Amino acid sequence: MEKTILKIEGLSKNYKNVNAVQDLSFDVKEKMVYGILGPNGSGKTTTLGMLLGVIRPKKGSFSWFENGMIDANRKRIGALLETPNFYPYLTAEQNLKIVALIKEIKDAPKEIDRVLKLVSLYERRTSKFKTFSLGMKQRLAIASVLLGDPEVLVLDEPTNGLDPQGIAEIRDLIIHIGQQGKTIIIASHILDEIEKVCSHCVILKNGQLIRTGTIGEIIGNENDVLIKVASLDLVKLNAFILQHKDIGLFKELSGKLVLRIENSLNPTTLNQLFFDNGIVLSELSIYNETLESQFLEIIKKS
Amino acid sequence: MMNLVLIEWLKLKGLRTFKVILILYAVLLPLFFYSLSGIPLFKYFYSDVIYAFPKVYHYVTYISSFFNLILGVIIILFTCNEIKYKTQRQNMIDGLSKREMILSKFYVILLMSIVVTLYAFLVAFCFGMSTNSTEYFEGVRYIGFYFISTFGYFIFAFFLANLLKNSSLTIVIYLLSSFIESIIGMGLVSKEFSQFLPLNTFSNLIPMPIIPDGFEYMMTEIQRASLGFGYGLCFVVIAYIILSRRDV
Protein backbone atom coordinates (compact mmCIF):
# COMPACT_ATOMS: atom_id res chain seq x y z
CA MET A 1 0.00 0.00 0.00
CA GLU A 2 1.34 3.39 -0.95
CA LYS A 3 1.97 6.02 1.65
CA THR A 4 -0.67 8.69 2.11
CA ILE A 5 0.86 12.06 1.29
CA LEU A 6 -2.18 14.15 2.04
CA LYS A 7 -5.36 13.35 3.91
CA ILE A 8 -8.18 15.90 3.93
CA GLU A 9 -11.14 15.46 6.26
CA GLY A 10 -14.22 17.66 6.22
CA LEU A 11 -12.37 20.84 5.24
CA SER A 12 -14.67 23.90 5.11
CA LYS A 13 -14.25 27.62 4.66
CA ASN A 14 -16.78 30.39 4.31
CA TYR A 15 -16.43 34.08 3.59
CA LYS A 16 -19.35 35.94 5.13
CA ASN A 17 -22.33 34.31 3.35
CA VAL A 18 -20.40 32.44 0.69
CA ASN A 19 -19.42 28.85 1.29
CA ALA A 20 -16.09 28.74 -0.52
CA VAL A 21 -15.34 25.14 0.43
CA GLN A 22 -17.79 22.74 2.02
CA ASP A 23 -16.94 19.57 3.86
CA LEU A 24 -14.21 18.48 1.47
CA SER A 25 -12.51 15.12 1.97
CA PHE A 26 -10.09 13.22 -0.22
CA ASP A 27 -6.73 11.51 -0.02
CA VAL A 28 -3.65 11.85 -2.16
CA LYS A 29 -1.32 8.87 -2.20
CA GLU A 30 2.36 8.86 -2.93
CA LYS A 31 3.36 9.19 -6.61
CA MET A 32 -0.08 10.32 -7.73
CA VAL A 33 -0.40 13.21 -10.12
CA TYR A 34 -3.59 14.64 -8.73
CA GLY A 35 -5.71 17.19 -10.54
CA ILE A 36 -8.13 19.55 -8.88
CA LEU A 37 -10.69 20.63 -11.44
CA GLY A 38 -13.45 23.12 -11.29
CA PRO A 39 -14.85 26.26 -12.86
CA ASN A 40 -13.75 29.71 -11.67
CA GLY A 41 -14.81 30.28 -8.09
CA SER A 42 -15.28 26.60 -7.32
CA GLY A 43 -12.90 26.73 -4.37
CA LYS A 44 -9.70 25.35 -5.89
CA THR A 45 -7.40 28.12 -4.70
CA THR A 46 -9.15 28.39 -1.32
CA THR A 47 -8.58 24.67 -0.82
CA LEU A 48 -4.91 24.91 -1.73
CA GLY A 49 -4.56 28.05 0.42
CA MET A 50 -5.79 26.12 3.43
CA LEU A 51 -3.50 23.19 2.68
CA LEU A 52 -0.58 25.64 2.42
CA GLY A 53 -1.27 27.39 5.70
CA VAL A 54 -2.24 30.84 4.43
CA ILE A 55 -6.02 30.51 4.80
CA ARG A 56 -7.46 29.39 8.10
CA PRO A 57 -9.99 26.57 7.72
CA LYS A 58 -13.38 27.14 9.34
CA LYS A 59 -13.80 23.47 10.06
CA GLY A 60 -12.10 20.19 9.32
CA SER A 61 -8.49 19.15 9.13
CA PHE A 62 -5.77 17.95 6.82
CA SER A 63 -2.55 16.09 7.32
CA TRP A 64 0.61 16.21 5.20
CA PHE A 65 2.94 13.22 5.29
CA GLU A 66 0.78 11.73 8.13
CA ASN A 67 2.32 14.49 10.15
CA GLY A 68 -0.62 16.78 10.92
CA MET A 69 -0.92 20.46 10.16
CA ILE A 70 2.48 21.64 11.44
CA ASP A 71 4.17 24.51 9.59
CA ALA A 72 7.43 22.64 9.00
CA ASN A 73 5.62 20.22 6.63
CA ARG A 74 5.56 22.99 4.03
CA LYS A 75 9.34 23.03 3.82
CA ARG A 76 9.02 19.63 2.10
CA ILE A 77 6.50 20.98 -0.43
CA GLY A 78 7.20 23.09 -3.48
CA ALA A 79 4.16 25.27 -3.99
CA LEU A 80 2.90 27.91 -6.38
CA LEU A 81 -0.37 29.59 -5.40
CA GLU A 82 -2.05 31.95 -7.87
CA THR A 83 0.48 34.60 -8.91
CA PRO A 84 4.28 34.43 -8.63
CA ASN A 85 5.18 36.38 -5.48
CA PHE A 86 8.71 37.74 -5.30
CA TYR A 87 10.56 40.84 -4.12
CA PRO A 88 10.52 43.08 -7.21
CA TYR A 89 13.65 44.95 -6.17
CA LEU A 90 15.74 41.77 -5.81
CA THR A 91 17.28 39.67 -8.59
CA ALA A 92 16.04 36.21 -9.57
CA GLU A 93 19.01 34.71 -7.76
CA GLN A 94 18.49 36.73 -4.56
CA ASN A 95 14.81 35.83 -4.51
CA LEU A 96 15.59 32.13 -4.76
CA LYS A 97 18.23 32.51 -2.06
CA ILE A 98 15.52 33.68 0.34
CA VAL A 99 13.37 30.67 -0.56
CA ALA A 100 16.37 28.37 -0.07
CA LEU A 101 16.99 29.84 3.38
CA ILE A 102 13.35 29.39 4.39
CA LYS A 103 13.31 25.80 3.20
CA GLU A 104 16.73 25.18 4.76
CA ILE A 105 18.08 23.79 1.50
CA LYS A 106 21.59 22.43 1.54
CA ASP A 107 24.09 23.46 -1.11
CA ALA A 108 21.84 26.36 -2.10
CA PRO A 109 23.98 28.12 -4.76
CA LYS A 110 24.30 24.92 -6.80
CA GLU A 111 20.62 24.14 -6.40
CA ILE A 112 19.64 27.67 -7.45
CA ASP A 113 21.75 27.39 -10.62
CA ARG A 114 20.17 24.01 -11.39
CA VAL A 115 16.55 25.20 -11.21
CA LEU A 116 17.30 28.44 -13.06
CA LYS A 117 18.75 26.38 -15.92
CA LEU A 118 15.70 24.08 -15.88
CA VAL A 119 13.36 26.98 -16.60
CA SER A 120 15.84 28.73 -18.94
CA LEU A 121 16.34 31.77 -16.73
CA TYR A 122 20.00 31.19 -15.88
CA GLU A 123 21.18 33.94 -18.22
CA ARG A 124 18.84 36.40 -16.51
CA ARG A 125 19.72 35.40 -12.95
CA THR A 126 21.16 38.80 -12.03
CA SER A 127 18.21 40.75 -13.42
CA LYS A 128 15.72 42.22 -11.00
CA PHE A 129 12.37 40.46 -10.75
CA LYS A 130 10.49 43.64 -11.71
CA THR A 131 12.18 43.66 -15.13
CA PHE A 132 10.76 40.20 -15.97
CA SER A 133 7.90 39.57 -18.38
CA LEU A 134 4.81 37.72 -17.16
CA GLY A 135 6.07 34.45 -18.63
CA MET A 136 9.49 34.85 -17.03
CA LYS A 137 7.88 35.59 -13.67
CA GLN A 138 5.85 32.41 -13.98
CA ARG A 139 8.96 30.44 -14.91
CA LEU A 140 10.81 31.82 -11.89
CA ALA A 141 7.88 30.69 -9.74
CA ILE A 142 8.23 27.20 -11.23
CA ALA A 143 11.97 27.32 -10.49
CA SER A 144 11.20 28.25 -6.91
CA VAL A 145 8.78 25.33 -6.65
CA LEU A 146 11.47 22.92 -7.87
CA LEU A 147 14.13 24.30 -5.54
CA GLY A 148 15.51 21.62 -3.25
CA ASP A 149 13.81 18.83 -5.19
CA PRO A 150 10.77 18.62 -2.85
CA GLU A 151 8.79 15.40 -2.35
CA VAL A 152 5.51 17.07 -3.27
CA LEU A 153 4.64 19.79 -5.76
CA VAL A 154 1.50 21.88 -5.41
CA LEU A 155 0.73 23.90 -8.52
CA ASP A 156 -2.12 26.34 -9.00
CA GLU A 157 -2.58 27.21 -12.67
CA PRO A 158 1.09 26.54 -13.45
CA THR A 159 0.92 27.56 -17.10
CA ASN A 160 -0.85 30.84 -16.44
CA GLY A 161 0.54 33.66 -18.55
CA LEU A 162 2.86 31.49 -20.61
CA ASP A 163 3.02 31.43 -24.40
CA PRO A 164 2.21 28.16 -26.23
CA GLN A 165 5.86 27.14 -26.28
CA GLY A 166 6.20 27.92 -22.57
CA ILE A 167 3.03 25.96 -21.80
CA ALA A 168 4.40 22.93 -23.64
CA GLU A 169 7.76 23.21 -21.85
CA ILE A 170 6.24 23.45 -18.38
CA ARG A 171 3.82 20.64 -19.15
CA ASP A 172 6.65 18.38 -20.27
CA LEU A 173 8.56 19.33 -17.16
CA ILE A 174 5.61 18.37 -14.94
CA ILE A 175 5.11 15.07 -16.77
CA HIS A 176 8.83 14.37 -16.46
CA ILE A 177 8.80 15.11 -12.72
CA GLY A 178 5.70 12.95 -12.27
CA GLN A 179 7.48 10.08 -13.99
CA GLN A 180 10.32 10.40 -11.49
CA GLY A 181 7.86 9.32 -8.81
CA LYS A 182 7.04 12.66 -7.24
CA THR A 183 3.60 13.45 -5.94
CA ILE A 184 2.02 16.38 -7.72
CA ILE A 185 -1.18 18.22 -6.91
CA ILE A 186 -2.28 20.53 -9.67
CA ALA A 187 -5.27 22.83 -9.87
CA SER A 188 -6.47 24.13 -13.17
CA HIS A 189 -9.50 24.98 -15.18
CA ILE A 190 -7.66 24.10 -18.36
CA LEU A 191 -8.94 20.55 -18.80
CA ASP A 192 -6.62 19.64 -21.55
CA GLU A 193 -3.80 20.30 -19.12
CA ILE A 194 -5.21 18.02 -16.43
CA GLU A 195 -5.97 15.26 -18.93
CA LYS A 196 -2.47 15.32 -20.32
CA VAL A 197 -0.68 15.45 -17.01
CA CYS A 198 -2.76 13.83 -14.25
CA SER A 199 -3.46 10.27 -13.18
CA HIS A 200 -6.26 11.11 -10.74
CA CYS A 201 -8.58 14.02 -10.26
CA VAL A 202 -11.26 15.57 -8.14
CA ILE A 203 -13.95 17.86 -9.54
CA LEU A 204 -15.22 20.74 -7.44
CA LYS A 205 -18.25 22.94 -7.93
CA ASN A 206 -19.38 25.68 -5.58
CA GLY A 207 -16.90 24.42 -3.04
CA GLN A 208 -18.24 20.89 -3.03
CA LEU A 209 -16.69 17.69 -4.25
CA ILE A 210 -18.83 16.25 -7.02
CA ARG A 211 -16.60 13.57 -8.57
CA THR A 212 -13.35 11.89 -7.78
CA GLY A 213 -11.42 9.05 -9.38
CA THR A 214 -8.82 8.23 -11.98
CA ILE A 215 -8.92 10.25 -15.17
CA GLY A 216 -10.10 7.09 -16.99
CA GLU A 217 -12.97 6.57 -14.54
CA ILE A 218 -14.12 10.14 -14.92
CA ILE A 219 -13.98 10.14 -18.67
CA GLY A 220 -15.85 6.84 -18.49
CA ASN A 221 -14.27 5.04 -21.44
CA GLU A 222 -11.78 3.01 -19.52
CA ASN A 223 -13.13 -0.43 -20.44
CA ASP A 224 -15.69 0.24 -23.13
CA VAL A 225 -15.35 1.07 -26.75
CA LEU A 226 -17.34 4.14 -27.74
CA ILE A 227 -18.80 4.45 -31.20
CA LYS A 228 -20.44 7.50 -32.68
CA VAL A 229 -23.26 6.73 -35.10
CA ALA A 230 -25.86 8.67 -37.05
CA SER A 231 -28.74 7.66 -39.20
CA LEU A 232 -31.40 9.37 -41.22
CA ASP A 233 -33.99 7.44 -39.22
CA LEU A 234 -33.10 8.37 -35.67
CA VAL A 235 -36.35 7.10 -34.18
CA LYS A 236 -35.78 3.59 -35.45
CA LEU A 237 -32.13 3.73 -34.38
CA ASN A 238 -33.10 4.80 -30.88
CA ALA A 239 -35.74 2.13 -30.55
CA PHE A 240 -33.32 -0.59 -31.64
CA ILE A 241 -30.65 0.48 -29.19
CA LEU A 242 -33.14 0.44 -26.31
CA GLN A 243 -33.98 -3.22 -27.08
CA HIS A 244 -30.43 -4.44 -27.49
CA LYS A 245 -28.63 -5.32 -24.27
CA ASP A 246 -25.10 -5.31 -25.71
CA ILE A 247 -25.43 -1.71 -26.82
CA GLY A 248 -25.87 1.18 -24.43
CA LEU A 249 -26.50 4.80 -25.11
CA PHE A 250 -23.52 6.76 -23.75
CA LYS A 251 -24.80 10.16 -24.75
CA GLU A 252 -26.41 12.22 -27.48
CA LEU A 253 -24.26 14.61 -29.39
CA SER A 254 -26.06 17.11 -31.63
CA GLY A 255 -28.29 14.64 -33.45
CA LYS A 256 -25.74 11.82 -33.32
CA LEU A 257 -25.52 9.05 -30.78
CA VAL A 258 -22.47 7.87 -28.88
CA LEU A 259 -22.83 4.19 -28.02
CA ARG A 260 -21.08 2.01 -25.52
CA ILE A 261 -20.67 -1.49 -26.93
CA GLU A 262 -19.78 -4.77 -25.29
CA ASN A 263 -16.58 -6.62 -26.10
CA SER A 264 -18.49 -9.10 -28.27
CA LEU A 265 -19.07 -6.33 -30.78
CA ASN A 266 -16.74 -4.25 -32.91
CA PRO A 267 -17.44 -1.56 -35.54
CA THR A 268 -17.79 -4.12 -38.31
CA THR A 269 -20.22 -6.42 -36.48
CA LEU A 270 -22.11 -3.43 -35.19
CA ASN A 271 -22.58 -2.05 -38.69
CA GLN A 272 -23.73 -5.49 -39.86
CA LEU A 273 -26.17 -5.76 -36.97
CA PHE A 274 -27.76 -2.43 -37.75
CA PHE A 275 -27.98 -3.21 -41.44
CA ASP A 276 -29.58 -6.60 -40.79
CA ASN A 277 -32.25 -4.85 -38.76
CA GLY A 278 -33.03 -2.37 -41.48
CA ILE A 279 -31.10 0.59 -40.15
CA VAL A 280 -28.76 2.33 -42.54
CA LEU A 281 -26.08 4.38 -40.86
CA SER A 282 -24.94 7.68 -42.31
CA GLU A 283 -21.95 7.84 -40.02
CA LEU A 284 -19.93 5.42 -37.91
CA SER A 285 -16.71 6.22 -36.14
CA ILE A 286 -14.67 5.39 -33.05
CA TYR A 287 -15.37 8.07 -30.50
CA ASN A 288 -12.71 9.32 -28.07
CA GLU A 289 -14.26 10.95 -25.07
CA THR A 290 -12.31 13.92 -23.71
CA LEU A 291 -12.15 15.07 -20.16
CA GLU A 292 -13.42 18.41 -21.33
CA SER A 293 -16.76 17.17 -22.64
CA GLN A 294 -17.25 14.86 -19.65
CA PHE A 295 -16.38 17.65 -17.26
CA LEU A 296 -18.88 20.02 -18.82
CA GLU A 297 -21.58 17.41 -18.48
CA ILE A 298 -20.74 16.56 -14.89
CA ILE A 299 -20.79 20.24 -14.00
CA LYS A 300 -24.10 20.77 -15.78
CA LYS A 301 -25.80 17.80 -14.16
CA SER A 302 -24.78 18.45 -10.57
CA MET B 1 17.28 32.61 14.79
CA MET B 2 20.34 33.37 12.64
CA ASN B 3 18.49 31.94 9.66
CA LEU B 4 15.60 34.37 10.15
CA VAL B 5 17.95 37.32 10.58
CA LEU B 6 19.82 36.35 7.41
CA ILE B 7 16.55 36.12 5.44
CA GLU B 8 15.49 39.58 6.60
CA TRP B 9 18.93 41.00 5.85
CA LEU B 10 18.72 39.77 2.25
CA LYS B 11 15.36 41.51 1.90
CA LEU B 12 16.49 44.73 3.57
CA LYS B 13 19.79 45.30 1.87
CA GLY B 14 18.14 45.55 -1.55
CA LEU B 15 15.64 48.13 -0.31
CA ARG B 16 16.76 51.59 -1.37
CA THR B 17 14.52 53.45 1.09
CA PHE B 18 16.28 51.63 3.92
CA LYS B 19 19.70 52.80 2.84
CA VAL B 20 18.63 56.37 2.08
CA ILE B 21 16.85 56.92 5.39
CA LEU B 22 19.70 55.40 7.40
CA ILE B 23 22.31 57.50 5.62
CA LEU B 24 20.20 60.64 6.09
CA TYR B 25 19.98 59.88 9.79
CA ALA B 26 23.69 59.15 10.09
CA VAL B 27 24.65 62.40 8.35
CA LEU B 28 22.01 64.72 9.77
CA LEU B 29 22.30 63.78 13.45
CA PRO B 30 25.90 65.00 14.02
CA LEU B 31 25.48 67.96 11.63
CA PHE B 32 22.32 69.11 13.32
CA PHE B 33 23.86 68.71 16.77
CA TYR B 34 26.92 70.65 15.67
CA SER B 35 24.77 73.42 14.16
CA LEU B 36 23.25 74.08 17.60
CA SER B 37 26.43 75.97 18.42
CA GLY B 38 25.41 78.60 15.87
CA ILE B 39 22.11 79.37 17.60
CA PRO B 40 22.61 82.41 19.91
CA LEU B 41 20.76 80.92 22.87
CA PHE B 42 23.02 77.91 22.93
CA LYS B 43 26.09 79.85 21.95
CA TYR B 44 26.00 82.21 24.90
CA PHE B 45 24.40 80.20 27.64
CA TYR B 46 24.86 76.53 27.01
CA SER B 47 27.66 75.83 24.58
CA ASP B 48 30.09 74.71 27.27
CA VAL B 49 27.38 72.46 28.66
CA ILE B 50 25.69 70.71 25.78
CA TYR B 51 28.83 69.31 24.17
CA ALA B 52 30.41 68.19 27.41
CA PHE B 53 29.88 65.12 29.55
CA PRO B 54 27.51 64.37 31.16
CA LYS B 55 24.90 66.55 29.40
CA VAL B 56 26.01 65.56 25.90
CA TYR B 57 24.26 62.16 26.18
CA HIS B 58 20.97 63.79 27.03
CA TYR B 59 21.19 66.38 24.24
CA VAL B 60 22.24 63.94 21.53
CA THR B 61 19.58 61.38 22.38
CA TYR B 62 16.96 64.11 22.57
CA ILE B 63 17.81 65.33 19.08
CA SER B 64 18.17 61.80 17.80
CA SER B 65 14.69 60.94 19.06
CA PHE B 66 13.24 63.36 16.48
CA PHE B 67 14.54 60.94 13.86
CA ASN B 68 12.70 58.01 15.43
CA LEU B 69 9.57 58.87 13.52
CA ILE B 70 11.42 58.89 10.22
CA LEU B 71 13.35 55.71 11.01
CA GLY B 72 10.04 54.08 11.90
CA VAL B 73 8.97 54.66 8.29
CA ILE B 74 11.57 52.04 7.27
CA ILE B 75 9.82 49.50 9.47
CA ILE B 76 6.43 50.45 8.03
CA LEU B 77 7.55 50.21 4.40
CA PHE B 78 9.41 46.99 5.06
CA THR B 79 6.36 45.40 6.70
CA CYS B 80 3.76 46.73 4.25
CA ASN B 81 5.92 45.72 1.26
CA GLU B 82 5.63 42.10 2.34
CA ILE B 83 1.85 42.44 2.27
CA LYS B 84 1.74 44.43 -0.97
CA TYR B 85 4.05 42.06 -2.86
CA LYS B 86 2.33 39.05 -1.23
CA THR B 87 5.77 37.84 -0.19
CA GLN B 88 4.54 37.39 3.36
CA ARG B 89 2.11 34.88 1.90
CA GLN B 90 4.86 33.26 -0.17
CA ASN B 91 7.23 33.05 2.82
CA MET B 92 4.53 31.17 4.68
CA ILE B 93 3.77 28.90 1.74
CA ASP B 94 7.49 28.14 1.60
CA GLY B 95 7.42 27.05 5.23
CA LEU B 96 7.61 29.91 7.74
CA SER B 97 5.06 29.93 10.55
CA LYS B 98 3.16 33.05 11.57
CA ARG B 99 5.22 33.09 14.76
CA GLU B 100 8.42 33.12 12.72
CA MET B 101 7.02 35.88 10.50
CA ILE B 102 6.58 38.11 13.56
CA LEU B 103 9.83 36.99 15.19
CA SER B 104 11.91 37.72 12.10
CA LYS B 105 10.62 41.32 11.98
CA PHE B 106 11.08 41.59 15.76
CA TYR B 107 14.75 40.73 15.34
CA VAL B 108 15.10 43.36 12.64
CA ILE B 109 13.53 45.97 14.93
CA LEU B 110 15.74 44.92 17.83
CA LEU B 111 18.90 45.07 15.71
CA MET B 112 17.95 48.38 14.14
CA SER B 113 17.28 49.89 17.59
CA ILE B 114 20.67 48.64 18.75
CA VAL B 115 22.46 50.07 15.70
CA VAL B 116 20.74 53.46 15.98
CA THR B 117 21.44 53.58 19.72
CA LEU B 118 25.10 52.67 19.29
CA TYR B 119 25.42 55.38 16.65
CA ALA B 120 23.84 57.97 18.96
CA PHE B 121 26.27 56.88 21.67
CA LEU B 122 29.19 57.20 19.28
CA VAL B 123 28.15 60.72 18.22
CA ALA B 124 27.67 61.81 21.85
CA PHE B 125 30.95 60.25 22.91
CA CYS B 126 32.92 61.94 20.11
CA PHE B 127 31.41 65.36 20.86
CA GLY B 128 32.10 64.82 24.55
CA MET B 129 35.71 63.89 23.86
CA SER B 130 36.17 67.08 21.88
CA THR B 131 35.61 69.10 25.08
CA ASN B 132 37.73 69.13 28.19
CA SER B 133 35.27 67.22 30.29
CA THR B 134 36.43 63.89 31.61
CA GLU B 135 33.38 62.24 33.21
CA TYR B 136 33.12 60.01 30.13
CA PHE B 137 30.27 57.80 31.20
CA GLU B 138 28.36 60.17 33.43
CA GLY B 139 24.79 60.43 32.13
CA VAL B 140 25.23 57.43 29.83
CA ARG B 141 21.91 56.08 31.18
CA TYR B 142 20.23 58.29 28.57
CA ILE B 143 21.64 55.98 25.94
CA GLY B 144 19.81 53.09 27.60
CA PHE B 145 16.58 55.08 27.76
CA TYR B 146 17.04 56.09 24.17
CA PHE B 147 17.29 52.44 23.19
CA ILE B 148 13.97 51.62 24.85
CA SER B 149 12.32 54.71 23.37
CA THR B 150 13.54 53.83 19.84
CA PHE B 151 12.58 50.20 20.24
CA GLY B 152 9.14 51.31 21.41
CA TYR B 153 8.53 53.60 18.44
CA PHE B 154 9.71 50.95 15.97
CA ILE B 155 7.55 48.24 17.50
CA PHE B 156 4.59 50.62 17.47
CA ALA B 157 5.23 51.29 13.76
CA PHE B 158 5.35 47.53 13.14
CA PHE B 159 2.11 46.99 15.03
CA LEU B 160 0.35 49.74 13.04
CA ALA B 161 1.65 48.35 9.75
CA ASN B 162 0.25 44.92 10.59
CA LEU B 163 -3.05 46.42 11.62
CA LEU B 164 -3.57 48.72 8.64
CA LYS B 165 -1.61 46.83 5.92
CA ASN B 166 -1.48 49.86 3.60
CA SER B 167 1.81 51.77 3.78
CA SER B 168 0.64 55.33 3.03
CA LEU B 169 -2.24 55.09 5.47
CA THR B 170 0.05 53.60 8.11
CA ILE B 171 2.64 56.36 7.70
CA VAL B 172 0.01 59.09 8.08
CA ILE B 173 -1.52 57.48 11.18
CA TYR B 174 1.97 56.83 12.59
CA LEU B 175 3.01 60.46 12.21
CA LEU B 176 -0.26 61.62 13.78
CA SER B 177 -0.37 59.01 16.52
CA SER B 178 1.35 61.06 19.27
CA PHE B 179 -1.08 63.83 18.51
CA ILE B 180 -4.05 61.47 18.64
CA GLU B 181 -2.78 59.98 21.88
CA SER B 182 -2.53 63.44 23.44
CA ILE B 183 -6.10 64.22 22.47
CA ILE B 184 -7.29 60.99 24.03
CA GLY B 185 -5.09 61.30 27.13
CA MET B 186 -5.17 64.98 27.99
CA GLY B 187 -8.40 65.99 26.35
CA LEU B 188 -10.59 63.20 27.58
CA VAL B 189 -8.97 62.18 30.86
CA SER B 190 -6.14 64.22 32.38
CA LYS B 191 -2.55 65.24 31.93
CA GLU B 192 -1.55 62.94 34.80
CA PHE B 193 -3.19 60.02 33.07
CA SER B 194 -1.67 60.73 29.68
CA GLN B 195 1.89 60.11 30.89
CA PHE B 196 1.03 56.43 31.27
CA LEU B 197 0.01 56.05 27.63
CA PRO B 198 2.50 54.22 25.39
CA LEU B 199 3.79 56.95 23.07
CA ASN B 200 4.05 59.43 25.93
CA THR B 201 5.97 56.84 27.90
CA PHE B 202 8.41 56.37 25.01
CA SER B 203 8.92 60.11 24.56
CA ASN B 204 9.14 60.90 28.29
CA LEU B 205 12.14 58.62 28.54
CA ILE B 206 14.16 61.46 27.01
CA PRO B 207 12.51 64.64 28.34
CA MET B 208 13.27 68.06 26.92
CA PRO B 209 16.69 69.00 28.31
CA ILE B 210 16.68 72.81 28.42
CA ILE B 211 13.45 74.03 29.89
CA PRO B 212 13.34 73.10 33.54
CA ASP B 213 10.61 70.59 33.68
CA GLY B 214 7.62 71.98 35.51
CA PHE B 215 5.81 68.73 34.98
CA GLU B 216 5.73 66.21 37.78
CA TYR B 217 6.42 62.67 36.60
CA MET B 218 4.57 60.17 38.69
CA MET B 219 7.13 57.51 37.82
CA THR B 220 10.87 57.30 38.29
CA GLU B 221 13.12 56.96 35.27
CA ILE B 222 13.47 53.23 35.84
CA GLN B 223 9.73 52.80 36.15
CA ARG B 224 9.21 54.70 32.92
CA ALA B 225 11.82 52.55 31.17
CA SER B 226 10.19 49.34 32.41
CA LEU B 227 6.74 50.50 31.38
CA GLY B 228 8.07 51.51 27.94
CA PHE B 229 9.69 48.14 27.44
CA GLY B 230 6.48 46.43 28.59
CA TYR B 231 4.45 48.41 26.05
CA GLY B 232 6.93 47.37 23.33
CA LEU B 233 6.45 43.69 24.13
CA CYS B 234 2.66 44.17 24.24
CA PHE B 235 2.68 45.61 20.73
CA VAL B 236 4.60 42.56 19.44
CA VAL B 237 2.11 40.21 21.05
CA ILE B 238 -0.85 42.16 19.62
CA ALA B 239 0.79 42.13 16.17
CA TYR B 240 1.13 38.36 16.47
CA ILE B 241 -2.51 37.97 17.49
CA ILE B 242 -3.62 40.13 14.54
CA LEU B 243 -1.59 38.06 12.09
CA SER B 244 -2.59 34.70 13.52
CA ARG B 245 -6.30 35.53 13.08
CA ARG B 246 -5.89 36.66 9.50
CA ASP B 247 -5.94 34.87 6.15
CA VAL B 248 -2.86 36.14 4.36
CB contact under 8 A, A101 and B247: no
- Smallest CA–CA separation between A144 and chain B, in Å? 9
Picking from B14, B93, B248, the nearest residue to A87 by CB comes out as B14
Q: What are the extents of the domains in chain B?
A: 2-245
B207/B75: higher pLDDT: B75
pLDDT band at A154 (very low <50, low <70, confident <90, very high): very high
Q: At what angle do helices B98-129 and B141-164 cross, to 10 degrees?
A: 150
Picking from B7, B16, B85, the nearest residue to A102 by CB comes out as B7
For β-strands A183-188 and A33-37, DSSP reports them as: parallel
Question: What is the per-residue DSSP string for B109-148?
Answer: HHHHHHHHHHHHHHHHHHHHHTSS---TTTTTHHHHHHHH
pLDDT band at A16 (very low <50, low <70, confident <90, very high): confident
pLDDT in tens, A69-79: 999 999 999 99
Q: At what angle do helices B141-164 and B221-244 cross, to 10 degrees?
A: 20
Residues on chain A touching B100 (C-beta within 8 angstroms): 71
- Return the percentage of chain A with pLDDT > 90, whole number: 51
The rounded distance, in Å, linking the Cα atoms of B67 and B176 is 15
Q: How many CB pairs under 8 A join A and B?
A: 74
pTM for the whole structure: 0.88
Find, in chain A, the residue whose alpha carbon is nearest to that of B2: A101
What integer best gives the mean pLDDT of chain B? 91
CB contact under 8 A, B10 and A97: yes
> Among A96-110, A273-287, B77-91, whose mean pLDDT is lowest?
A273-287
pLDDT in tens, B44-67: 666 677 888 888 999 999 999 999
The verdict on A83 touching B (C-beta cutoff 8 Å) is: yes
Residues on chain A touching B94 (C-beta within 8 angstroms): 74-75, 79, 99, 102-103, 144
CB contact under 8 A, B93 and A86: no
Cβ atoms of A50 and A81 within 8 Å: the answer is: no
What integer best gives the mean pLDDT of chain A? 90
Residues on chain B touching A83 (C-beta within 8 angstroms): 86
Structure confidence at residue A1 (pLDDT): 63
Cβ atoms of B57 and B205 within 8 Å: the answer is: no
Residues on chain A touching B89 (C-beta within 8 angstroms): 54, 81, 85
> Among A123-137, A203-217, B33-47, whose mean pLDDT is lowest?
B33-47
pLDDT at A53 over 80: yes
Tell me which residues of chain A, numbers 148 to 207, contact chain B at a CB-CB cutoff of 8 Å: none
Tally Cβ neighbours within 10 Å of residue A212.
17
Picking from B11, B86, B95, the nearest residue to A103 by CB comes out as B95
pLDDT in tens, B195-236: 889 998 999 899 888 765 566 678 888 899 999 999 999 999
Structure confidence at residue A261 (pLDDT): 83
Secondary structure element (H or E) that encloses residue B32, with its range = helix B16-35
Cβ atoms of A211 and A218 within 8 Å: the answer is: yes
